[in-house]
């Protein structure tokens, strides 16, 4: 036992050192989104018909698309829309879901029954299909898609937060706080939420990657962003007809989506492992 | 078990009821006067005069209280009449059965492909932990979770039908048409199921009953088949049931890309045509279909797992 403790600490510390590396990718992307105009070599909407479908070259790093627009600049600006929308979805769905889940789990009773039936019902249905139907009724615009994603996705948070709150609620520190006379909302805010914040962040990472993939998929189909917008899913859809002659037009945005989602997933994995106190490399097996 | 199943059934019926209310509200909540929207569609876009609208609303009972309207709508819907498509003017339920069967075929093929790939891989990785296949699986499942399926579909179409000219990239009819769509949909769930099977197997293999069986001198294969498999089957089935919803999400995009005429591509089409009766029909079919699938999976689990069967 004595021999093991320093070893564990060492592991945790080395893990902490490596953790930011995985988060860093995401952070860099977010910062890039804000400062894009400083990095982007061209205006993403500047049409240059004479120079259409140019191959990658020093002046156009990733070549130009079917309208002569610089692909690299469009990729950078595309991150802004995709990441921004996904962040909005996660923020609102997470906020609403956490609040309702925590209230439902802590207060219990009739509210809990209704909320949980609703969330279970939603979890059975295909989320993307329901999102599309809601977005269709709201009018297919960018805000319609974001609102539709939020209204489908909050139930996931509510369900998971409710289950975590049920576990925490039974622990003695909550009973202690209750017997000291703390109010319900004080307990939820100061005791329950801080204690589930860790696992919640892991969920948020995976929900972020879901939001990015869904948003890109919907804009690929033509929902959300206007035609011609510099958005990754839209770029893939619009370069589709040049797939055989200029595959890099489809490859580049797809790789961008994949890299971003993978970074977020790995971050979530690593953070989850750290929370559970085990140190596992996702590329190494558990019991080797 | 009977009581539990009955409870599930009651829950499913309540859920179906809620779904029908949402489906009904979907059309009535549209911006603008519902009678006017319907008339506009029937008269090919010419603006009807107010007197006609009032008369039309009166004839079709749009001035009745909402619960009465809902009741009329529900009885019509149960009789298979959900109105006409705005675009074609045909009944929205006309070739629904055919579309459902095509989507179901694609979905079941995808799931079967995923299971056929995932279960042996999961078994192999659990019995050969740390090997290169095991490590490759973990890496692949991370990639599989992160890859946008519409992009993968395009790449597969590019590789298999444009470069190699092996498989058709659009349409339906022959078995060759199913291969690409099913593979694309299967990739998103194969990794998840394989990793789950691997983790569950590892959990079970360290149990006492496996050691006992080993000590008795039972063969490795027999331990797996007659002791371990029955133990991991219920949870694997539950997971598979949950993947069904994910498969449909993949199907919407994949059906559109590969021009597979199922429910998913119909939903996309009707969304862009703003063909609201058709959207409503798609919603009702998808949602109630999933309630039924979920019920069937629950029933199968009670059949397979004696612990659940005996619990109540």
Mean per-residue pLDDT pooled into runs of 10, chain A (288 residues): 42 50 65 66 70 69 72 81 90 93 88 86 86 86 92 91 87 86 84 84 88 92 82 86 80 88 82 64 40
Share of chain B above pLDDT 70, in %: 93
State CA A284 to chain mean position distance.
25
The answer to the question of residue A79 being in a domain is: yes
Q: Do B279 and A133 touch (CB under 8 A)?
A: yes
pLDDT of residue A212: 93
A41 domain residue, yes or no = no
In CATH terms, the fold of domain B96-274 is: MetI-like fold (1.10.3720)
Cβ atoms of B245 and A126 closer than 8 Å? yes
- B32, B311 Cβ separation under 8 angstroms: no
Least Cα separation, residue B49 to chain A (angstroms): 25
Q: Please give the Cα distance from B206 to B214 (Å, whole number).
A: 11
pTM more than 0.80: yes
| A46 inside domain | no
DSSP E strands, A127-269? none
A213 and B148 within 8 Å at the Cβ level: the answer is: yes
Q: Shortest CB distance from A283 goes to which of B135, B248, B268?
A: B135
Residues of chain B neighbouring A266 (CB-CB closer than 8 A): 142
B15 neighbors B293 (Cβ within 8 angstroms): no
Q: Which residue has the higher pLDDT, B232 or B44?
A: B232
A247 in a domain, yes or no?
A: yes
A109 Ramachandran zone, left/alpha/beta (phi>0; psi -120 to 50): left
Distance, in angstroms, between B63 CA and closest chain A CA?
Answer: 22
Residue in A closest to B25 by C-alpha = A137
Q: Would the CB atoms of B252 and A247 count as touching at under 8 Å?
A: no
User: pLDDT tier at B126 (50, 70, 90 boundaries)?
Assistant: confident
Nearest chain A CA: its distance from B274 CA (Å): 7
Chain B positions touching A284 (Cβ under 8 A) are 130, 135
Domain count within chain A: 1
- Interface touch B138/A282, C-beta < 8 Å: yes
Q: The complex's ipTM?
A: 0.83
Most B-contacting residue of A29, A211, A216, A221 (CB-CB within 10 A), to test interface: A221
Judging contacts by C-beta atoms under 8 Å, the chain B residues touching residue A208 are: none
* Alpha-carbon span B214 to A108, nearest angstrom: 47
Range of the domain at A207: 71-276
Residues of chain B in contact with residue A115, where contact means CB-CB under 8 angstroms, are: none
User: Does residue A180 form part of some domain?
Assistant: yes
Query: What's the pLDDT at B64?
Result: 73
pLDDT for B49 beyond 70: yes
CATH number of the domain to which A212 belongs: 1.10.3720.10
**A44 lies in a domain?**
no
**Is A119 among the domain residues?**
yes
The residue-averaged pLDDT of B288-302 equals 85
B247: nearest CA in chain A?
A126
Mark yes or no for CB contact A217/B130 under 8 Å: no
Question: Looking at beta carbons, which residues of chain B come within 8 Å of A240?
Answer: 154
Residue spans of the domains in chain B: they are 96-274
- Chain A: nearest CA to B283, how far in angstroms? 7
HSE-CB for A197 with a 13 A CA cutoff: 7
pLDDT tens for B2-41 read 777 788 888 888 888 888 888 888 777 766 667 777 777 6
Higher pLDDT, B50 or A61: B50
Which residue reads 């982007």 in tokens?
Answer: A40
Total residue length of chain B: 312
Residue whose structure tokens are 């490399």: A281
Is residue A61, in this structure, part of any structural domain at all? Answer: no
Where does residue B127 rank: exposed (0-12), middle (13-18), buried (19+ CB within 10 A)?
A: middle
How long, in residues, is chain A?
Answer: 288
Q: CB-hemisphere CA count at 13 Å for B199?
A: 10
Could you tell me which chain A residue has the CA closest to the CA of B264? A129
CB within 8 Å: A129 and B158: no
pLDDT at A264: 84
Contact B51, B308 (CB under 8 A): no
């Amino acid at each position: 036992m004595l021999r093991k403790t320093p070893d564990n600490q060492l592991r945790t510390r080395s893990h902490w050192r490596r953790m930011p590396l995985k988060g860093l990718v995401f952070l860099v992307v977010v910062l890039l989104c804000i400062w894009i105009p400083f990095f982007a070599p061209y205006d993403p909407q500047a049409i240059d018909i004479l120079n259409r479908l140019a191959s990658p070259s020093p002046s156009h790093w990733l070549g130009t698309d079917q309208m002569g627009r610089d692909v690299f600049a469009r990729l950078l600006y595309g991150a802004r829309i995709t990441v921004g929308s996904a962040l909005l979805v996660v923020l609102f769905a997470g906020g609403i879901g956490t609040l309702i889940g925590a209230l439902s789990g802590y207060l219990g009773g009739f509210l809990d029954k209704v909320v949980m039936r609703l969330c279970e019902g939603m979890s059975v249905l295909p989320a993307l299909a329901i999102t599309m139907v809601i977005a269709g009724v709201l009018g297919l615009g960018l805000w319609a898609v974001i609102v539709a994603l939020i209204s489908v996705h909050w139930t996931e948070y509510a369900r998971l937060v409710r289950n975590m709150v049920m576990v925490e609620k039974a622990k003695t520190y909550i009973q202690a706080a209750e017997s000291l006379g703390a109010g319900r909302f004080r307990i939820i805010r100061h005791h329950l939420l801080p204690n589930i914040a860790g696992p919640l962040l892991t969920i948020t990472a995976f929900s972020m990657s879901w939001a990015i993939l869904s948003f890109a998929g919907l804009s690929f189909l033509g929902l959300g962003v206007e035609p011609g917008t510099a958005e990754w899913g839209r770029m893939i859809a619009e370069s589709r007809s040049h797939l055989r002659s200029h595959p890099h037009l489809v490859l580049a945005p797809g790789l961008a989506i994949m890299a971003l989602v993978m970074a977020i997933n790995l971050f979530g994995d690593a953070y989850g492992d750290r929370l559970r106190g085990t140190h596992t490399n996702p590329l190494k097996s558990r019991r080797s | 078990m009977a009581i539990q199943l009955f409870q599930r059934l009651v829950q499913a019926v309540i859920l179906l009821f809620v779904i029908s209310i949402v489906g009904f509200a979907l059309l009535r909540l549209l911006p603008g006067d519902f009678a006017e929207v319907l008339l506009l569609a029937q008269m090919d876009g010419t603006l009807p005069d107010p007197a006609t609208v009032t008369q039309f609303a009166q004839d079709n009972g749009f001035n009745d209280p909402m619960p009465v309207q809902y009741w009329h709508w529900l009885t019509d819907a149960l009789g298979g009449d959900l109105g006409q498509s705005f675009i074609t003017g045909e009944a929205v339920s006309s070739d629904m059965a055919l579309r459902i069967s095509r989507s179901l075929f694609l979905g079941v093929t995808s799931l079967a492909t995923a299971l056929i790939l995932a279960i042996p891989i999961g078994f192999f990785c659990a019995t050969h932990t740390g090997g290169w296949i095991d490590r490759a699986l973990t890496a692949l499942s991370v990639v599989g979770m992160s890859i946008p399926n519409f992009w993968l579909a395009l790449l597969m179409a590019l590789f298999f039908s444009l470069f190699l000219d092996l498989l058709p990239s659009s349409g339906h009819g022959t078995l060759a048409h199913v291969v690409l769509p099913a593979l694309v949909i299967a990739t998103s769930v194969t990794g998840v199921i394989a990793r789950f099977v691997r983790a569950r197997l590892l959990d079970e293999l360290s149990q006492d009953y496996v050691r006992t069986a080993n000590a008795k001198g039972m063969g490795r294969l027999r331990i797996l088949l007659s002791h371990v498999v029955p133990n991991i089957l219920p949870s694997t089935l539950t997971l598979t049931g949950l993947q069904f919803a994910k498969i449909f999400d993949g199907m919407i995009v994949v059906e559109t890309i590969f021009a597979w005429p199922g429910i998913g591509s119909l939903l996309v089409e009707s969304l862009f045509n703003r063909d609201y009766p058709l959207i409503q029909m798609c919603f009702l079919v998808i949602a109630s279909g999933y309630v039924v699938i979920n019920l069937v999976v629950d029933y199968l689990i009670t059949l397979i797992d004696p612990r659940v069967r005996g619990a109540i």
